[in-house]
Amino acid sequence: MVFERGFKTWCEKYATEKRKTLGLDPTGPLNSMALAADLKVIVRKPADIPNIKQETLDVLLRNDGTPSCWSAVTLVCGSRMVVILNSSHSPARQASDLTHELAHIIRGHKAQEVDITADGLMLLKSYDKLQEEEADWLSGCLLLPREALVAIKRKGLDTATSANLYGVSVQMLNYRMATSGVNRQFA
């Protein structure tokens, strides 16, 4: 995927500026819930939905690891935005999923339309691949900006400790180290 010129730099700058706005150290961890609150986005889990039936919750929270297992969804009602997270996922996955959804909002991506099947399944009609790639990149920068990755390397922190400190998965940390060029810089 080829991003528009300057997009990656914009993401890094945005992540740094947002940390300043939130009163965080530029290399410190970002709490995705604090970011959501700053953006005035409501975050809920399926169990928070009023009058939801237990059998519906059981279906929504089934976490079988298949591609059909959902992660998060953003609902827009007028000017209000609500992100519903799959609470059966790990806290690191939920942070990543929430930040991905927030990245769509930050970038001004249009919400995708969904259909509801007769048996109650929600189906996304289509998605914009570029928008998904943008949200992936921006969410990675928000959680692990390059400046934080450099600080991790300089401090000699191991991968598991760093992932835990930043509330992300080891896979996310490794991905950001590789794609940001920090691994090459410290090789």
Chunked mean pLDDT (size 10), the chain, 187 residues: 92 97 96 97 92 84 72 86 91 96 93 68 70 96 98 97 98 97 95
How many Cα atoms within 13 Å fall on the side-chain side of residue 96?
Answer: 21
Class of residue 155 by CB neighbours under 10 A (exposed 0-12, middle 13-18, buried 19+): exposed
Instruction: Using alpha carbons, select from 176, 171, 165, 146 the residue that is nearest to residue 15.
Output: 146
Instruction: Using alpha carbons, select from 88, 90, 108, 182 the residue that is nearest to residue 140.
Output: 182
Q: So what's the pLDDT on residue 61?
A: 83
Q: So what's the pLDDT on residue 78?
A: 84
Angle at Cα 159 formed by Cα 73 and Cα 10, nearest 5°? 55
Nearest-angstrom CA–CA distance, 111 and 74:
8
The pTM score is 0.89
Beta strands 122-124; 41-44: pairing state: unpaired
Instruction: Using alpha carbons, select from 61, 85, 92 the residue that is nearest to residue 71.
Output: 85
Q: So what's the pLDDT on residue 120?
A: 64
Q: So what's the pLDDT on residue 76?
A: 85
Q: So what's the pLDDT on residue 162?
A: 98
